[in-house]
Structure 1
Amino acid sequence: MFDSATEELRQKIFPQEQRVTSGWLRIGVAVTCITLTLITLYFAFTITIGEVKTRGLHLMFTLPLTMLLYPALKSSSRARPSLVDWGLAISSAAAFAWAFYRADAWLDRYVGYDPVPWSDFIFGCIALVTIFEATRRTVGPTIVFLNLLFIGYALTGPYWPGVLEHGGMSIPDFIETMYMDAEGIFNFITGLMATYIFTFLLFGVFLRVSGGDRVFTDLAAAVAGHRRGGPAKVAVVSSALMGMLSGSSISNVSTTGTMTIPMMKRLGFRNYEAAAIEVVSSVGGGLMPPLMGTGIFIMASLTNIPLVEILFYSIAPALLYYVAVYFYADIKAAERGMVGLPRDELPRLSEVVLQGGHIFLPVIILIVLMVLQYTPFFASAACVVMTLAISYLRQNTRMHWKQLLTALEAGTRVAITISALLASAAIIYAVTVHTGLLTKITSILIDYSGGSAVIAIILLGLMSYVIGMGLPVTASYVIIAALGAGALQELGLSVLAAHLVIFWFAQDSTITPPICMTAFVGARIAEAPPMRTGWECVKMAKALYIIPFMFAFSSLLDPSLGEVCFDFAVGLLLFVLVPISIYGYWRQPLSTPVRLSVGLCAALSFTATLGDAQDGLPWLGASIALLACTALVVRRRSPGAQTS
């Protein structure tokens, strides 16, 4: 069943941190994974069996698989699960099988009034413990610590000072609320994971198995490989395209970085620069429609804004982000006198489109279905099926039955990397709602900000950085959105602006030292110092810190297309000027006064985005005039400077 080609594919698309099983266990894991994938696809095209049942069934599959596929410790065997692993797997399966069995009976009881049966209480405790252990194994102990902190807050409510005080919950009440109510473990966050987050991840897997990642990489090489600093620009373009497949920065680095980072190093980039270019480009994958990572689906549910609308308003900011990264790579390449790769070593654009262009059809169909207001669950599941069918249009993308089975297994394997995490996030969100912490933090933020939206955004950025240390982007976004989005709305921001501000800030913890997981992955591939790579990422990713303020105060999210286009055009100028000012090079080294002048031009451009286009035109004019004067002075002082 598992020939060499299948083994190579499995190594490519299965998460690397999972156990490599063998024998009957390997077959059992494969059958279990494929079963959950097929069940989820079935639910996408039919009526589901109820919220608690659907979500309980999902966790009944994913948590036991997590216990078996993720070693408890680094020193644990990677070949076979231990007895403890088997015990936890069986316990978690029993806890959520019990929830599936009892779901209908729970609908007929009153939470907080009816007594909690001992059987429900015991299985509820097991469910919490196994969720925390599965979360620890997949993403580390940080979010488990946060869960325990929030649970402690829920149980000790009367003892907290001032506005943080609340009535408190007994342990049976807490278990009842978390396990026996649809607003606890089985709330909308777990519901998203059990439905269209799963199918969107599966869609990305099918695109990769059918050769989508290869097509996107070849397309990027054909478009940008021959340009100055070619491999760096291939990294930028390919990571933007790969973002449509995964929406995961670490996945992007692991996929495209193994090719682009060595090429950049050979061309002359320093190891930490090559890593930073790939890392920051890959972070943009979580900002690039139409997937944008799992957080975007949670945002749609939290805000009640249609997913397609959020994706539409995210196009311009994502493009601005990549413009900033692209010009960083260009300036570095120009400063070092680098050239592009020879055209005869690169794929031809016409050949790439002819042989692999059909791979883009499912992405286009996905967008069309969502515009037509089909549910994301149905749209993504339909595109999984369409990807399989469309792959047969070309020999080089055709999926045979072994690849199909591997893709179906990979769908669940990829899902379990975040399934326990989102169950933990669901618990944290449930605590904030049931204790009133959401409104309490809102009042505290408004008080400390003095009613200033600018100060509130800065405070939330700092909070996101601290809380996000060691947390995946999705968890960081859920926690900060639960605590701070209301405060931003109270200070005048729209619902969409408030959540996009937090969503973008949530990305920064993956690249900002001292704990920057995506930067660490890139540094390991480049054999570069992790901290040096992290700080280089911070310098490169200025858009990650500037664009949230544009969400808040510019017209980038305005219903008027003209206003959006004006701010986008000014943003292009802004993000061309920022790297020039920071790195002090444009066709030649720039003096400190010139860099300061260019920085002032960038500041004027940013000011031009505040308010509407009519108010911004004078600021834009001032920026362009100052830039023209600066360029004239530079040219007069160095008339013989060579241009590139």
Structure 2
Amino acid sequence: MTAPTWFGEFSAKGRTLRGWWALLYAGVAAFFGGWYMYTSGFGIESTESNRGFYLLFTSVLVFLLYPARKGAPTHRPSVFDLVMCAAAVVSVGYWMDQYISYAMFRVSAPTTWDLTMGAICIVVMLETTRRVLGPALVVLGLIFLVQLYYGQWLPGKLSHPGLTVERIIEFTYSTQEAIFGVITATFATFVFPFMVFGAFLERSGAGRFFMELATALTGRWRGGPAKIATITSALFGSISGSSVANVVSTGAFTIPLMKRIGFRPHVAGGIEAIASTGGQFMPPIMGAGVFILATLTESNYLGIALMNVIPATLFFIFVLLMVDLEAVRTGLKGIPREETPDVWPVLKRGWHFFIPLIVIVGLLFNGYSPEVGAFWGSVSALVLSWLRKDTRMGPRAVVSGLVGGAHANTAAGAAIGTLGIIIGGIVLSGLGLKFSAVLVDFSGGVLLLAALLVMVISIIIGMGSSTTGSYIILSVVAAPALIKLGVPTIAAHLVVFYAACLSNITPPVCVSAFAAAAIAGSDPIRTGVAALKYGSMLVLLPFSFIYAPGILLYGTWWDVVHATAGHLVGLTALAMALQGCTFVTERMSLTPRLVLFAASGLLLFPAHWWVDVAGLLLFAAGLALALGLPMPRAPRSPSTPRNAHRDRRI
């Protein structure tokens, strides 16, 4: 007797589950997704179940799907995998059952069972992370655990007396400060329901509609497929919240299309990688990051989303300009007319797919929490799918959506337990404030140098973590330093969040570029360099939040208009300087490129009105030089003979 094949098979890192094992995986995933859709619509049962079930189900799914080592069974979990599943169920289940009793009667006096289950849970969380994300984040987690014990050996301000093993395990496991802390609560309450919403939206036909709409809008333009990639990645990435998931889903279509019309493989991969990375800070949803940011800053989710409208728009305008200039420089055309759909028929067929997004934004504007928006957005996607016969979601599609959301969560959720361990180590030792003090001292109190250090640290930390993981760590160790130097709280957190996004495309470890390179068949490092070139604006935006806060809606309406207009002209100058051409000429010499570089620097980081004027004059001069226009000359002195210059040349 064979198992049903409703959900096909599930694959990851050398293992493909089929048959009954695939059915078991799908069953666990469906219950996981269904439980959190229920709690997002009707309220959580308890804090313990909300946080505990999230980590429990995430670990079980990871142990079923991801092998522990090379040579492990490729079509089923091993005995060790099943033992780890049992360890996750027992240790997390014990915490859910005993937390109230611990909080009321055993604080600072944990039992042997508490400590035993705590040690097992710590191992389970670290192993969950290792299987999906590799050893880097696990090593970081172990470092933060070990420093709690050997605190007296840490240098300078980072030193502390050190703690016992029992105290470390108790704080990490038994409290709601580390493994089961605010990061887990945020993912369980806010992030995961939106992953299920994204799966529902995709299965309702919205993914195909957004791709067709982008093709209809930009396909026939020069370099059209790259513009399709940019627009679809902005739309899809906002919902998915994962740059790698975005690359894999949209890149499977856009990268071959870009290569077909003449984009070099590493350029095609780089464009998809940077566009997918930008989707993580594209309103209205902004993936997982905005929920963590709102929680850590105790700010309104909708307010943060609104603050990101201008920066995200400027970023994608820059990417589109870079793509257009690449097409000019290399003579690339668009998709043939007969292969591109017309806009109005596409909109007529799929206009209703915008309604779930409108429902979510409308609920947020009316004061409802994000998880309620995710619930009703999913319900509206399900209902609206029945407007067309070919997109109707029946019971099987609904279950598939729940499974898809839980399956997508394994990549992001696998890091959460270990991130909780890291945050617990930072909080228990007071390392966050100490590190911030060290950062301020090292920078000499110079804000620009501190911001540069934050960027470097974010790239290093991002090598072994996801965007969300990098941001969570940086929000504790780096953001306080910027706040101490006078940067507003939300702006400081946005600096480190955008810096964390940057780590997705910065070689040598650039996960988004690696995923795109696999599809494009290109060298991963060259793809990462290309992504960094096309995403240069992402390097500059964190500094803009400090020196041109008007783009974050700080200040008066004039401050906002002034900063936005300056950035529009500045990013145009930067794009032309990087690509070495204008929108009407294929090549420019070094001199106008240098002039345009200088203009972009003055316009993107204005200090005084005369800096703006100088930037605009340099921009005009750079354009004139690039286009071969006559430059204005200084007036000739009356005493100077008209042909004196000829005489000198002779």
Give the alignment's TM-score, normalised by structure 2.
Answer: 0.93
Shift of 1:559: 4.7
SS at match of 2:222: coil
State how 1:419-568 maps to structure 2 within 5 Å. 419-554=413-548, 555-557=550-552, 558-568=554-564
Gaps of 5+ in 2: 632-650
Say whether 1:585 aligns with 2:581.
yes
Who is 1:642 aligned against?
Answer: none
Identity of aligned residues (%): 34
Q: Distance in 1 between matches of 2:3 and 2:302?
A: 40
Give the partner amino acid of 2:422: I
1:108 aligned to which of 104, 110, 118? 104
Aligned equivalent of 1:147 = 141
* Secondary structure of 1:108 counterpart: helix
Which residue is 2:365 aligned to?
Answer: 371
Matched, 1:323 2:321: no
Matched, 1:310 2:304: yes
Match of 2:237 in 1: 243
More deviation, 566-575/200-209 = 566-575
Amino acid at match of 1:23: G
Correspondence for 2:605: 607
Q: Does 1:630 align with 2:622?
A: yes
Instruction: Report the CA distance shift for 1:630/1:39 in structure 2 as closer, same or farther (over 3 A).
Output: closer
Aligned with 2:42 (options 23, 43, 46): 46
The Cα shift of 1:246 comes to 0.7
2:398 counterpart letter in structure 1: L
Shift of 1:143: 0.6
Q: Name the CA distance, whole Å, in 2 between partners of 1:630 and 1:131.
A: 55
Distance 1:634 1:107, change over 3 A: closer
Distance 1:67 1:423 in 2: 14
- Alpha-carbon distance between aligned partners in 2 of 1:231 and 1:268, rounded to the nearest angstrom: 10
| Within-5 A mapping of 1:563-574 | 563-574=559-570
Q: C-alpha separation between the residues in 1 aligned to 2:346 and 2:86?
A: 48
Indicate if the aligned counterparts of 2:359 and 2:376 stay in contact, CA closer than 8 A: no
Cα deviation 1:324-351 (Å, max 9, x = unaligned): 1111111111112222222221111111
Q: After TM superposition, give the deviation of residue 588 of structure 1 in Å.
A: 3.0
* Cα RMSD, aligned residues only: 1.9
Q: Is the 8 A contact 2:180 2:420 kept in 1?
A: yes
- For residue 576 of structure 1, the aligned residue among 564, 572, 580 is 572
- Residue among 165, 184, 194 paired with 1:171: 165
Q: In the superposition, relative to structure 1, how do residues 637 and 290 fare at CA in structure 2: closer, same or farther (>3 Å)?
A: closer
**Match of 1:269?**
263
> Does residue 81 of structure 1 match 2:77?
yes
Residue 160 to residue 604, structure 1, CA distance change in 2 (3 Å) = closer
Aligned residues: 626
Calculate the TM-score normalised by the size of structure 1.
0.94
Measure the CA separation in 2 of the matches of 1:504 and 1:168.
34
- 1:86, 1:16 → 2: CA distance? 17
Tell whether 2:404 aligns with 1:406.
no
Name 1:91's counterpart in structure 2: 87
Q: Is the 8 A contact 1:189 1:422 kept in 2?
A: yes
Q: Deviations over 1:558-612 (max 9, x none)?
A: 153442232122211111111211221111311111111111221221233x4xx
Which residue number corresponds to residue 358 of structure 1? 352
| Structure label with greater radius of gyration | 2
2:24 is aligned to 28
Specify the code of the residue in structure 2 equivalent to 1:76: A
Residue of structure 1 in register with 2:596 after alignment: 598
- Mind listing any 5+ residue stretches in structure 1 that lack a counterpart? 640-644
**Contact 1:485 / 1:499 at 8 angstroms: preserved in 2?**
yes
- Aligned 8 A contact 1:52 1:182 in 2: no
Deviation readout 1:455-490 (Å, 9 max, x if unpaired) = 100011111111111321111111111101111000
Contact in 1 for aligned 2:12/2:66 (Cα 8 Å): no
Alpha-carbon distance change, 638 to 86 in structure 1, aligned in 2, over 3 angstroms = farther
* 1:70 partner amino acid: Y
Contact 1:53 1:99 in 2 (8 A): no
Q: CA deviation at 1:76?
A: 2.2
The runs of 4+ residues in structure 1 deviating greater than 6 Å are 1-4
- Of 193, 196, 200, the residue aligned with 1:199 is 193
Amino acid at match of 2:57: F
> Kindly tell me: are residues 74 and 638 of structure 1, through their superposed partners in 2, closer, same or farther at Cα, counting changes over 3 Å?
farther
Deviations 1:171-210 (A, max 9, x none): 1111111111111211110111222111011111111111
The match for 2:636 is none
Q: Distance in 2 between matches of 1:165 and 1:3?
A: 58
Aligned mates of 2:55, 2:312 — CA distance in 1: 33
State the partner residue of 1:621: 613
1:233 equivalent in alignment to 2:231: no
Using the alignment, how far apart are the partners of 1:481 and 1:322 within structure 2? 25
Supply the AA of the counterpart residue of 2:594: L
TM-aligned CA deviation for residue 395 of structure 1: 2.0
Which letter does structure 2 place at the counterpart of 1:573?
V
Q: Say whether residues 1:417 and 2:411 are aligned partners.
A: yes
Deviation at 1:620, TM superposition (A): 2.8
Write out aligned runs for 1:249-260 (5 A).
249-260=243-254
Q: Give distance in 1, aligned partners of 2:388 and 2:555.
A: 41
Please state how far the C-alpha of 1:530 moved relative to its aligned partner. Answer: 1.2
Residue type at the aligned position of 1:452: V
Shifted more, 395-404 versus 509-518: the winner is 395-404
In 2, Cα distance between equivalents of 1:236 and 1:229: 11
Opposite residue 192 of structure 1, the aligned amino acid is T
Alpha-carbon deviations, 1:348-378, whole Å to 9, x = none? 1111111111111001111111121211121
Is this contact kept in 2: 1:216–1:238, CA < 8 A?
A: yes
Does 274-283 or 387-396 show the bigger shift? 387-396
- The change in CA–CA distance for 1:559 and 1:2 in structure 2 (over 3 A counts) is farther
In the alignment, which residue of structure 2 is the partner of 1:187?
181
Alpha-carbon deviation of 1:526? 1.0
Query: How big is the shift at 1:164?
Result: 1.2
Give per-residue Cα distances to partners, 1:82-101, cap 9 Å, x unaligned: 01001111111111111111
State how 1:116-135 maps to structure 2 within 5 Å. Answer: 116-135=110-129
What is the CA–CA distance in structure 1 between the aligned matches of 2:42 and 2:622, rounded to whole Å?
Answer: 64
Give, in angstroms, the shift of residue 19 of structure 1: 4.3
CA, structure 1 residues 355+452, in 2 after alignment: closer, same or farther (shift >3 Å)?
same
